[in-house]
Amino acid sequence: MALTRRQAYEARVKRRSTTIAAGSTLAVIVATLILVPLAPGWPAVKKSFFNAEVFADTFPGLLNAFLLDVAIFAWSAPLIFVLGLLVALARDVRAPAAYPLRLFAIVYTDIFRGVPVILVIYLVGFGIPGLGLPRPWNSPYIWGTVALVLTYAAYVAEVFRTGIESIHQSQRAAAASLGLSEADTMRYVILPQAIRKVVPANMNLFIALQKDVALLSFIGPVEIFRQAGVYKSLMANFTPYVGAALIFLAITIPATRYADYLLAKQRRARS
Amino acid sequence: MTALLETRSLQKSFGTNAVCKGIDLSVGRGEMVCLIGSSGSGKSTLLKCLNLLEPIDDGEILLDGEDISIPGLDPQPVRQRIGMVFQSFNLFPHMTAVENAMLAPRRVHGKDRATLLPEITGLFERFGLADRMAHYPDQLSGGQQQRVAIVRALAMKPEIMLFDEITSALDPELVGEVLDALRELREAGMTMILATHEMGFARELADKVCFLDAGMIHEEGPPEQVLSNPEKARTRAFLRRLL
Amino acid sequence: MRLLLTTLIALPLATGALAQNDCANGLTLEDGKLTIATGNPAYYPWVMDDAPESKQGFEAAVAYAVANEMGFSDDQVVWVRSSFDEAIQPGAKNFDFNLQQYSITPERDEIVDFSVPYYSAAMAVLTRAPVVEGGAEATIDSLKGLIWGADANTTAVPMLGEVIAPEKDPLLYGDNTDVVEAMKANQIDAALFDLPTALYLSAVVLDDGVILGQFPAERSESPDSFGLLFEEGNPLKSCVDTALNALKADGRLAAIEAEWLSETTGVPVIE
């Protein structure tokens, strides 16, 4: 089928811009590959950071240690989701008797969004077991998880709250006019819409969580970051950190792309 | 005969803006009353006050002789007896049409889906929506959405229905199907209060037309009188602008 | 003639005096200065009160003895602080040598250079009184059943696996303080440290610290020997080695060890 004049023109323009984009990308890559090794310190950097032998020796151990990161993420994420939701709901409660609950929710989100995660992990991970809890209740896995959950639930609660507030008042009015209670309105009308709306924002938080799981290593668990540190220390070589970074990227890049895709889809749906 | 729904000098303000300044309205069982008037005349606010979506400042609302406007009264049982349909449909977008209609009977009356299904299906058929039950709101036209909203309100078996300019957000070619649904309801004997700009429809079916102006019922009476031979100058001016 | 004679007599004397300095000449970061790095902070009994310039503490004393032997006066010694990572990263260093209990390992030797050893450390088991009361004994069988911790940056980590092979995965920490914190929180029963560090932690930091026993340096396949750390290929190394060997040969190093690390004798040996 013959192209219209417009189509032919557009195809030409597209071909040209593709060529230019490919050409410039290639030029940047080639320049990097040629110029960086010319730097005087490159052989030393290569030996310390990009050492193939060290990489091959340590990568399986790093992968194995990463399973602990995945496990900690897997049991923290649902807890964060639930606690974040409860805190967001507590902030929405209007009954005067529940005012202390609301106040608590506000103070809670303010504090845990304002303190670095690592501090919370130290304070909760060492401090609470230090009160004299018996085993196994003093485990750093438990209290490290508590620290992560407390911190991330504060962020997730804010995201949920934004979602709840973004649902138009007319939805509440419609539900009320049908005689639904406030609790049922929240549960069946507002929340399902709000939660869906904030999926991309929450995904970004959970990607950050997957990375911050590594901070638990400060209180003992030998996850990938700590394992890489042990290798680094034994071999006086930073290559294991590069290996760990690659493993993280293998998870976080696809997840980030997916979150962006969801966000773009939502934006299209709204317009 | 006592009125099914009656207001006595109902007053409502938002801050310093008095929207209803002492409205006395009376609707008998099986009657259809149309509220007309320019936007901002208080029609919408009045309807919202009637099913307690907005608390009133002073006056009384009587439902079947019972005061439902006592401050502090639990509004839920009252709302279950008064259905409402909104200008912007307000369907729940995350539920199919049939789920929209079943939500309140299930949660409020505690009935299960199976018990409800024949009855709800009947309502969908009655309003020509039998093949749209499994559709989500964004898969329906405006007219279909508004009819689903009517079905949703009817599913609670209300004693009286309130309609807040329900054709105003529709494309002109879709207005007819929604008015047909109202006609069907009228014939079935439903007590109805409509805020509307559809004068032809009001003339055809209303028992009573009330012209609201500046928060008061300025003139009321049978449609042929208010719409064709209005006594008050402002009513005439309003109708002239409309034509 | 007299002048010439005087010169001839003076010359050998002068060169003799210069000979001490010769080997370091022009090889230090700054002419006439010897820049030595230690940890931040530096711990007892290696450096007393975190003040190496006071010459108090084993490593501080060794550093000054080496410097004097190389011909530097006390005033010519400059102290800087560095972390382990700074010590092993590629690129120019801000020290001539670095001493903070660096164990010499073949892997580390590929990235940095080490002097001849200045101390061979026994590894010791640090625990707390309640653990001993709970029945922990200085036998490998008993130790296997404990929950272990260690400083992730030390050679205690591989040693734990090789010699004790605990039943539960050990917990690893970033520094001494965190290991002790975990011990106080009862999250770990015991930790492996070089003996002098273990003695210090047991006596000063822990209220109820106990040294359960030691693994003598000779016991492990590659004994844990501390060396001064240099940037890879630093020509100063041979000069420092000569100085260290001289200190060893005439017993001066042993005397310093006896002065600062005398308590290490008398700790029971674990069979």
What is the average pLDDT across C136-162? 90
Q: Which of B103, B106, B139, B148 to mutate to test the interface with A (most CBs of A within 10 A)?
A: B103
Q: How far is CA B100 from CA A23, B81, B151, C49, C258, in A?
A: 55, 18, 9, 74, 87
How sure is the predictor about C89, in pLDDT bands with cuts at 50, 70 and 90? confident
Report the top-level CATH class of C123-219.
alpha beta
3-class DSSP state for residue A77?
helix
Strand partners, B164: B195
Task: Say how many C-beta atoms besides its own lie within 10 A of residue B199's C-beta.
Answer: 18
Residues in CB range of A212: below 8 A, 6 or more apart: A117, A148, A152
Strands of the sheet with B191-195, listed across from one edge: B82-85, B160-164, B191-195, B32-36, B208-213, B216-221
The answer to whether residue A45 is domain-embedded is no
* Gap between the Cα atoms of B223 and A132, Å rounded: 83
What is the per-residue burial (b if ≥16 Cβ within 10 Å, else e) of C226-237? bbbbbbbebebb
Look at residue C8 and tell me whether its pLDDT is greater than 70.
no
Q: Which amino acid is at B97?
A: A
Residue A48: what pLDDT?
A: 86
Q: Does the N-terminal peptide bond of residue A136 adopt cis geometry, omega within 30 degrees of 0? A: yes
Lowest-confidence segment of A36-50, B155-169, C212-226 by average pLDDT: C212-226
Higher pLDDT, C246 or A45: C246
Contact residues on chain B for A170, CB-CB shorter than 8 A: 86, 88, 90
Per-residue pLDDT of C108-133, as tens digits, reads 888 889 999 999 888 899 999 999 99
Question: SS3 of C253, please?
Answer: helix
Q: What percent of chain C clears pLDDT 90, i.e. is strictly above it?
A: 48
| Residue among B75, B97, B188 nearest B146 (CA) | B97
pLDDT at C87: 84
Q: Is A158 in the same domain as A61?
A: yes
* Residues with Cβ within 8 Å of residue C198, at least 6 apart in sequence: C124, C125, C126, C211
For residue B57, give how far its alpha carbon lies from the nearest alpha carbon of chain A (Å): 19
For strands B32-36 and B208-213, give the pairing: parallel
pLDDT at C18: 39
Structural tokens at position C128: 């707390």
> Per residue in C50-79, pLDDT tens?
999 999 999 999 999 999 999 999 999 999
pLDDT digits (tens, 9 = 90+) for C10-45: 444 444 333 445 677 788 888 889 999 999 888 888
Of B128-137, B224-233, C15-24, C127-136, the one with minimum mean pLDDT is C15-24
Where in the sequence is the domain holding A28, given as residue range(s)?
1-38
In this complex, which chains have at least 3 CB pairs below 8 Å with chain A? B, C
Number of domains in chain A: 2
- Would residue A200 count as lying in a domain? yes
Residues C176, C179, C183, C185, CA torsion sign:
positive
- Whole-number Å distance between alpha carbons of C245 and C259: 19
Chain B contact for A180 (CB, 8 A cutoff): yes
Is C159 in a helix, a strand, or coil?
helix
DSSP class of B229: S
**What's the whole-number mean pLDDT along residues A219-246?**
92
Dig out the tokens for B155 from the structure.
Answer: 């599913």
Mean pLDDT of A11-40: 90
Could you tell me if B140 and B88 are in contact, meaning their C-beta atoms sit under 8 angstroms apart? Answer: no
In this model, does residue C9 exceed pLDDT 70? Answer: no
Give the C-alpha separation, C22 to C41, whole Å. 33
Task: For residue range A129-157, list pLDDT tens digits in order.
Answer: 888 888 888 899 999 999 999 999 999 99
What are the DSSP E strand ranges found in B165-215? 191-195, 208-213
Task: Say whether residue B153 is in contact with chain A using an 8 A CB cutoff.
Answer: yes
Answer whether residue A44 is part of any domain.
no
Backbone phi, psi, residue B152, to 5°? -60, -45
Q: Which residue of C lies nearest to A45 if distances are taken between CA atoms?
A: C90
Residue in C187, C188, C224, C232 to test binding to A, most A beta-carbons within 10 Å: C187
Q: Residue C64 pairs with which residues in a beta bridge?
A: none
Indicate the domain borders of chain C.
2-120+224-263, 123-219
Q: Same domain for A128 and A19?
A: no
Look at residue A1 in the predicted model and tell me its pLDDT: 67
Is A166's Cβ below 8 Å from some Cβ in B?
no
pLDDT at C138: 86
The torsion defined by the Cα of A205, A207, A208 and A211, in degrees rounded to 10, comes to: 160
Domain C2-120+224-263: which topology?
D-Maltodextrin-Binding Protein; domain 2 (3.40.190)
Same fold, C2-120+224-263 and C123-219: yes
pLDDT of residue C19: 41
pLDDT, tens digit (0-9, with 9 covering 90-100), for A156-192? 999 999 999 999 999 999 999 999 999 999 999 999 9
Q: Quick one: pLDDT at residue A96?
A: 81
The verdict on A112 and A227 lying in the same domain is yes
Same domain, A30 and A131: no
- Nearest-angstrom CA–CA distance, A216 and A69: 9
Q: For residue A271, what pLDDT is reported?
A: 59
* pLDDT tens, residue by residue, C194-245: 888 898 899 888 999 999 988 876 665 556 889 999 998 899 999 999 999 9
pLDDT, tens digit (0-9, with 9 covering 90-100), for B188-224? 999 999 999 989 999 999 999 999 998 899 999 999 9
Q: Return d(Cα A120, Cα A143) in angstroms, integer.
A: 10
Of residues B230 and B2, more confidently modeled: B230
Whole-angstrom distance, CA of residue C70 vs CA of residue A36: 40
Q: The pTM is what?
A: 0.82
Asked whether the beta carbons of residue A171 and residue B90 sit closer than 8 angstroms, the reply is: yes
Contacts of B86 in chain A (CB under 8 A): 170, 173-174, 177
Using pLDDT thresholds of 50, 70 and 90, give the confidence band for residue B242.
confident
Kindly report the CATH number assigned to the domain that includes residue A201: 1.10.3720.10
* Structure confidence by residue, pLDDT tens digits, B89-116: 999 999 999 999 999 999 999 999 999 9
pLDDT at C3: 52
A184 in the same domain as A152? yes
What's the average model confidence in pLDDT over C246-262?
90
Q: B158, B157, B177: which is closest to B167 by C-alpha?
A: B177
The answer to the question of residue A46 being in a domain is no
Residues of C in contact with A146 (CB under 8 A): none
Q: What integer pLDDT is reported at residue A45 of this predicted model?
A: 85
Q: Grade residue B146 by pLDDT with cuts at 50, 70 and 90.
A: very high
Q: Residues A26, A101: one domain?
A: no
Q: Does C130 touch chain A (CB under 8 A)?
A: no
Cross-chain Cβ contact B79/A188 below 8 Å: no
Q: Is the domain of A139 the same as that of A31? A: no
Measure the CA–CA gap between B198 and B181, rounded to whole angstroms: 14
**Over 60: is that where the pLDDT of C1 sits?**
no
The pLDDT, as a whole number, for residue C265 is: 67
Residue A109 lies in a domain: yes
Residues A252 and A185 in one domain: yes
As a whole number, mean pLDDT of residues A201-229 equals 93
* Same domain, yes or no: A139 and A176: yes
Taking only residues 197 to 236 of chain B, the set having a beta carbon closer than 8 angstroms to any beta carbon of chain A reads none
- Do A26 and A69 sit in the same domain of this protein? no
pLDDT on residue B113: 92
Q: Are residues A4 and A100 in the same domain?
A: no
- pLDDT one-digit tens code per residue, A73-122: 999 999 999 999 999 999 888 778 888 999 999 999 999 999 999 999 99
Q: Quick one: residue B59, left, alpha or beta (phi over 0 = left, psi -120 to 50 = alpha)?
A: left
Considering the domain architecture, whether residues A2 and A112 belong to the same structural domain is answered as no
Q: Which residues of C64-86 are buried (b: 16+ CB within 10 A; e: fewer)?
A: bbbbbbbbbeeebbbbbbbebeb
Task: For the beta carbon of residue C262, count every other beta carbon within 10 angstroms.
Answer: 10
Which of B92, B100, B151, B164 to mutate to probe the A interface, most A CBs <10 Å? B92
